[in-house]
Amino acid sequence: MDLIRIILSVILPPLGVFLQVGLGKHFWLNILLTLLGYIPGIVHAVWIIARTPKHA
């Protein structure tokens, strides 16, 4: 499932973060980073997916 989230994060970074953590502060930060520059949004999304524990 992480592979799917990472692929979605490359296409649309906020979607990958949303699927991992929901509508929290990381989601809104990722939207801001994506608007400021697409690459920072991707880096942040992949970082969140790699470090955040899975939902139960």
Is the pLDDT confidence value at 49 over 50?
A: yes
Position with higher pLDDT, 9 vs 55: 9
Domain boundaries, the chain: 2-51
Alpha helices for 1-56 (secondary structure H): 2-11, 13-21, 25-36, 38-51
- 10-48 pLDDT, tens digit per residue, is 999 999 999 999 999 999 999 999 999 999 999 999 999
pTM for this prediction: 0.85
Position with higher pLDDT, 10 vs 1: 10
Q: What is the pLDDT of residue 53?
A: 75
